[in-house]
Amino acid sequence: MTTWMRRIAWWLNRRSREETLRAELQFHLEEEAREQHEAGMTDAAWAARRDLGNVTLLREETRTLWTWTLLEQLIQDVRFAARTMWRSRTVTVVVALTLALGIGANTAIYSFMNAILLGALPVPDPASLVVVKWHAKRVDFRQPTPESAFVLHSIDGQVYDEGQGSVSRIWPFPAFERLQQAAAPMMASFFAYHPAGRLNLLASGEADVAQGEYVSGTYFEGLRVTLAAGRPIGSEDDRVGAPPVVVLSSGYANRRFGGAATAVGQSLQINNRPFTIVGVAPVEFYGVDPSVAPDVYLPLHIGDVSPDPNYYWLEMMGRLRPGVDAARAQAVLSTAFDPWVAGTATTASERANLPRLRLDSGAGGLDTLRRRYSQPIYVLISMVALILAIACANTANLLLARATLRRREMAVRLSIGAGRMRVLRQLLTESVCLACVGGVLSIPVAFASMRVLSALVVNGRESFTLHAELDWHVLMVTLGLSVACGLLFGLAPALQSVRPSVMPALKDVGSATFSRAPRLGMARISLTQLLLVLQIAVSLVLLVAAGLFLRTLANLHSIELGFNAERLLLMDVNASQAGHAPDQIAAFYANLRRRLAAVPGATGVTLSHASLIRAGRSLNIFVNGKQAQGERVLTVGPDFFTTMGVPLLQGRPVDERDVPGRPTVAVVSQLFEETFFGGEPAIGHHLALELPTRVDAGLPAGSQRIDIEIVGVAATARYGDLRDRTPPVVYLPYGQITFPPITQMTFALRAASDPVSLVPAVRRVVQDADPKMPMTNVRTQEVEIDRTINQEILFARLCTAFALLALLIACVGLYGTMAYSVARRTNEIGLRMALGASTAGVGWMVLREVCVLAAIGTAFSVPAALAASRFVQEFLFGVESTDPWTFGAAVVVLTVAALVAGVGPAQRASRINPMTALRAE
Amino acid sequence: MATTTPKPGELLRGTLELLVLRTLLPGPCQGHAIAKHIQRTSEDLLKIETGSLYPALYRLEANGLIAAAWATTDKGKRARHYRLTAKGRRQLVGERSKWEAFVRAVRLLLDSAEETR
């Protein structure tokens, strides 16, 4: 301990100590000189000095006592590295930039992975949270068959396919009541929630739309959320007849009320019902689903709590008591749940496939984001990892080339007594310095790429809260990565530098000699070529991926829509949430449509229950007494076919006559006619529509059949997701269908010119019609389509960018290596030309090497790309992962790029003057 | 393997420190005088290389066996004077007995060789 203290003291005083030593030696010399002078020696000072020996060496030796030489040498090395880097600026810039791009891209993607796949809920002790799920044999709700009968009769939520079965988080309300009791000994708290969707919020005379979430009275307590202001929703608020209260998110409270404290106690109207704000959630809290952040939390019993045991909708989570493991809790809950759910089965086939309860970790909240993005993220991570590999190979190559140029310098150092370890350390310091510069530069690159990525991912999705931040862990990983890179690519050249015996390198004056260079260079050349082949191979893989995604995007864009998406403005309004009575909504919408039609610049206005791209509704429709399978329904207003540009083939469209009280009519799509009438004309035929007569406490009580006459046939147009097959569609007049009740409608305006220019006028009209009704989700049809293929666009853009980046890095590497090789072979080339080689021949010699490298790289890469592209098959549309055209195009692009990179060095080689080259020998 | 035969006057490794410590036993002394003292006392058999004296002095100082301070010599010049520390004194005793044991061992060996022949 004291020794260390003393050593530090020594080191801190090293300057003054050096001075002391100098003075002391001075004194010694004088003393000696005086003595020898007295003894009668001439030239005493010189003799004294000779006697003392090498003063500098003496100082050095004395100094090694000060034990901090390692540190001092490190500082020296870093200084020297900085000077070397400055001297060869081009190499430094190229290396630092490629590393910065490689590391930056990795950091950005890793940050996203961190946020999406590894992020924990911002609540205390998230590890003790569990999500309650059920799983069963595969259930297909889209194509139900008698064998696939299931206790789930109606649904509001998601059921996912997982392996051979289905899995889901939604439950009937009675199951929640039962499980809450059963969970008490195992769980400290048990709570439920259900997305309330978009709500109409009216506060201080201003209406807007907010994301809502119904939560049980135990929700905030169970999550242990400390509110920013006020109190949470408690069990006393969550019962029928309790005064209606809400908790706001911090963001919403700030936006609408100017702060958490001022919001508490204020009142607001939600869907035309008065509420009191009792609390505001903390800033970091975003609910339990990272993909949707609610703006308002409402007590569960404010909404309709259906007692139907076959209606699945409510989600549940719990917090395990300390020391209880999930498996035990699951067993306890299952014993309560299994007999109950068996009692809800109505048929034998339902009893054959009962849902089984399962507890999953809830630490990261719900897995909606993970389900959606984990695979794309793994694909992206692999890509950026490949880019980093290329960048490292490139750097190694450039350093290798430079190390060979510095062979003489190293030989000189070794010959005048530098230790091999010392030289090795110097070289490693240089490459680590280089990597660190790259690492530091990568931080702004990462910030920029994350901003771009966020914009691309969020693109158009409302209330999407992805909390991707460049956190310090990610930064540390990056810096570690860059230092590891430095050591990795610094080691090979460094070892090579100190290996050659000193004499030949010393004799070698500048350029390479014939006898030595090729033999000495053998190992290096093959390593260089290996690295180049690797870069070319990886670039090709990325090019193929980019090609596949670009083709996917092109295919999606060229999908036959069947309607005209140009100059079409869409927006949503919800009159029922604004307080319009159910029997007046149809008339209100009809009136609004007439008013919008008067907006200057609008050539057509219509409405439907959803836009064609987002629609997805099916009702019980019977054709010739048989229930139609796979059909879809769109309720529309007048002028629908003319406004959307869907040609009407026969009969008449839905128009102003089709109002409640008159016979119900329908227009069917041509596909519907083909599917259900086998090519016979559908006009004049009748459909039967089975609708529930009234809904009692969530339970349909009785049903009625409505007779519908087909009055027209329209050309087949897209309906629903672009990637799905277009279904047969029935278009029904929105006013004549009483179920489901008319709520939100999507208006479509065809504009004469730019549709966005109509927005202010449209907004005025809507406000005029009802100031309490906000107009939401205003978008053009083209933007809406782009949003649905968001992921494909994202992939295509990112992959293209990555592939170009990889190609650029590989070409820079190719260029640098070839240029260096030409410089090194100046003598050889000069001699060849002196012996009669033509200029073209010499240029071709260089290009041939490039071609051979590219060919070998391609040969390695094509099988690898074939194998790797299988992993992206599910992201592709209309193109096979082994598409020969894409592979061909990628090879061509790569070859051209390689040749372009080789042209410069080839020209330089052909311009070598034999005389100059040989004279240099 | 090449062997280096020590020339007369060259010191065994580690001996210089012992001699320096011994020289400082009577009282503080400066570097040049230490060298001269060793040379004189050994009747010029031991000649201290200046190039090894100062590293040795600094090593001893770094290990806390001697301490140094600037003082004026009797001729009125400023020089660095070294003196033994308590630790140095202990070290000297220890090293000295080791050295004597070593000398005794060497002598025993040499003498016994004479007898057996």
pLDDT band at A384 (very low <50, low <70, confident <90, very high): confident
Residue B32, min C-alpha distance to chain A (Å): 6
B9 touches chain A (CB under 8 A): no
| B-chain residues near A4 (CB < 8 A) | none
B49 touches chain A (CB under 8 A): yes
Tokens 């010189």 identify what position? A46
Q: How many CB atoms lie within 10 A of CB B65?
A: 23
Residue A503, min C-alpha distance to chain B (Å): 25
The beta-carbon neighbor of A51 closest among B30, B50, B77 is: B50
Judged by CB atoms closer than 8 Å, whether chains meet at A62 and B49 is answered as no
Cβ contacts from A onto B, under 8 A: 50
CA angle, A781 then A786 then A789, to 5°: 135
Tokens 């500082």 identify what position? A75
- Which tokens go with A379? 């694909």
Q: Does the pLDDT value for residue A835 go beyond 70?
A: yes
Tokens 């809406």 identify what position? A784
B59 touches chain A (CB under 8 A): yes
Q: Please report, for chain B, the start and end positions of each structural domain, with discontinuous segments joined by +.
A: 15-116
In one letter, which amino acid is A133?
K
Please give the torsion angle defined by the CA atoms of residues A361, A366, A369 and A374, in that order, rounded to the nearest 10 degrees: 10
Round the average pLDDT of chain B to a whole number and report it: 79
Coil, strand, or helix at residue A621?
strand
Tokens 């319009």 identify what position? A580
Q: Please tell me the predicted confidence (pLDDT) of residue A366.
A: 75
pLDDT tens for residues A148-170? Answer: 678 887 788 888 888 788 889 99
Round the average pLDDT of chain A to a whole number and report it: 83
pLDDT band at A230 (very low <50, low <70, confident <90, very high): very high
Q: Please tell me the predicted confidence (pLDDT) of residue A636.
A: 94
Judge contact between A456 and A786, C-beta under 8 A: no
Judged by CB atoms closer than 8 Å, whether chains meet at B30 and A61 is answered as no
Q: Please tell me the predicted confidence (pLDDT) of residue A172.
A: 93
Q: Please tell me the predicted confidence (pLDDT) of residue A514.
A: 37
Coil, strand, or helix at residue A246?
strand
pLDDT band at A607 (very low <50, low <70, confident <90, very high): very high
Residue A75, min C-alpha distance to chain B (Å): 23
Instruction: Find all residues with CB under 8 Å of A242, minimum gap 6, and list them.
Output: A236, A299, A301
User: Residue B37 half-sphere exposure, CB side, CA atoms within 13 Å?
Assistant: 18
Closest C-alpha among A749, A748, A732, A751 to residue A740: A732
d(CA A657, CA A450): 54
Q: What is the mean pLDDT of residues A180-199?
A: 91
Q: Please tell me the predicted confidence (pLDDT) of residue A221.
A: 92
Q: What is the mean pLDDT of residues A722-741?
A: 88
B29 touches chain A (CB under 8 A): no
3-state secondary structure A18-42: HHHHHHHHHHHHHHHHHHHHHCCCC
Model ipTM value: 0.77
Tell me which chain B residue has its CA closest to the CA of residue A62: B55
Least confident of A398-407, A623-632, A838-847, B20-29: A398-407
pLDDT tens for residues A69-109? Answer: 667 777 888 888 888 888 877 778 878 888 888 888 888 88
| A-chain residues near B30 (CB < 8 A) | 27
Judge contact between A693 and A701, C-beta under 8 A: yes
B69 touches chain A (CB under 8 A): no
Distances (CA, A) of A749 to A564, A774, A784: 12, 17, 14
Least confident of A425-439, A744-758, A882-896, B102-116: B102-116
Tell me which chain A residue has its CA closest to the CA of residue B50: A52
Judge contact between A610 and A784, C-beta under 8 A: no
Coil, strand, or helix at residue A793?
helix
The beta-carbon neighbor of A65 closest among B55, B64, B77 is: B55
| A-chain residues near B50 (CB < 8 A) | 28, 32, 51-53, 58
d(CA A372, CA A734): 34
Q: Does the pLDDT value for residue A517 go beyond 90?
A: no
| B-chain residues near A62 (CB < 8 A) | 54-55, 58
Please give the torsion angle defined by the CA atoms of residues A113, A117, A123 and A126, in that order, rounded to the nearest 10 degrees: -140
* Residues belonging to chain A: 921
Tell me which chain B residue has its CA closest to the CA of residue A30: B32
Closest C-alpha among B16, B74, B26 to residue B48: B16
- Which tokens go with B104? 């005794």
pLDDT band at A37 (very low <50, low <70, confident <90, very high): confident
Tokens 């242990």 identify what position? A224
Interface probe for A, chosen from B30, B32, B61 (most Cβ of A below 10 Å), is B32
Coil, strand, or helix at residue A2?
helix
pLDDT band at A510 (very low <50, low <70, confident <90, very high): very low
Q: Does the pLDDT value for residue A918 go beyond 50?
A: yes
| Higher per-residue pLDDT: B67 or A40 | B67
pLDDT tens for residues A756-796? Answer: 999 999 999 999 999 888 888 889 998 888 888 877 787 78
Q: Does the pLDDT value for residue A503 go beyond 70?
A: no
Q: Output helix, strand, coil percentages for chain A, rounded to the nearest 5.
A: 55, 20, 30
Residue A6, min C-alpha distance to chain B (Å): 8
pLDDT band at B6 (very low <50, low <70, confident <90, very high): very low
pLDDT tens for residues A455-496? Answer: 766 665 544 555 566 666 776 777 787 777 777 767 766 776
The beta-carbon neighbor of A20 closest among B50, B51, B80 is: B80
Q: Please tell me the predicted confidence (pLDDT) of residue A628.
A: 85
Coil, strand, or helix at residue A514?
coil
Judged by CB atoms closer than 8 Å, whether chains meet at A61 and B55 is answered as yes
The beta-carbon neighbor of A53 closest among B50, B78, B80 is: B50
Q: What is the mean pLDDT of residues A427-445?
A: 83
The beta-carbon neighbor of A24 closest among B31, B51, B62 is: B31
Judge contact between A233 and A217, C-beta under 8 A: yes
Residue A418, min C-alpha distance to chain B (Å): 21
- Which tokens go with A671? 């596909």
Judge contact between A202 and A269, C-beta under 8 A: yes
Judged by CB atoms closer than 8 Å, whether chains meet at A53 and B31 is answered as no
d(CA A734, CA A63): 94
In one letter, which amino acid is A672?
F
The H or E element spanning position A692 is strand A686-696
Judged by CB atoms closer than 8 Å, whether chains meet at B58 and A65 is answered as yes
Q: How many CB atoms lie within 10 A of CB A849?
A: 19
* Highest mean pLDDT (candidates A79-83, A365-369, A644-648, A802-806): A644-648
Residue B58, min C-alpha distance to chain A (Å): 7
pLDDT tens for residues A285-313? Answer: 888 887 778 999 999 988 878 888 888 89
Pairing of strands B29-30, B78-84: antiparallel
| B-chain residues near A57 (CB < 8 A) | 51
Q: Please tell me the predicted confidence (pLDDT) of residue A728.
A: 93
Residue B107, min C-alpha distance to chain A (Å): 34
Where in A229-383 does DSSP place strands (E)?
Answer: 229-230, 245-248, 267-270, 273-280, 296-299, 311-312, 314-320, 356-361
Q: Please tell me the predicted confidence (pLDDT) of residue A422.
A: 77
- Which tokens go with A162? 């997982």
Q: Please tell me the predicted confidence (pLDDT) of residue A46.
A: 61
| Higher per-residue pLDDT: A791 or A608 | A608
Please give the torsion angle defined by the CA atoms of residues A457, A462, A466 and A469, in that order, rounded to the nearest 10 degrees: 80
| Higher per-residue pLDDT: B91 or A464 | B91
Pairing of strands A296-299, A206-215: parallel
- Chain A residues with CB under 8 Å of a chain B CB are 6-7, 10, 20-21, 23-25, 27-28, 30-32, 51-54, 57-58, 61-62, 65-66
Least confident of A300-309, A395-404, A793-802, B95-104: A395-404
A727 preceded by cis ω (within 30°)? no
Residue A77, min C-alpha distance to chain B (Å): 25
d(CA A62, CA A10): 12
CATH code matching the domain that covers B15-116, chosen among 3.90.79.10, 1.10.10.10, 3.40.50.800, 3.30.2350.10: 1.10.10.10
Q: Does the pLDDT value for residue A521 go beyond 80?
A: no
In one letter, which amino acid is A843?
G
Tell me which chain A residue has its CA closest to the CA of residue B54: A62
pLDDT tens for residues A361-383? Answer: 888 777 777 777 778 888 888 88
B31 touches chain A (CB under 8 A): yes
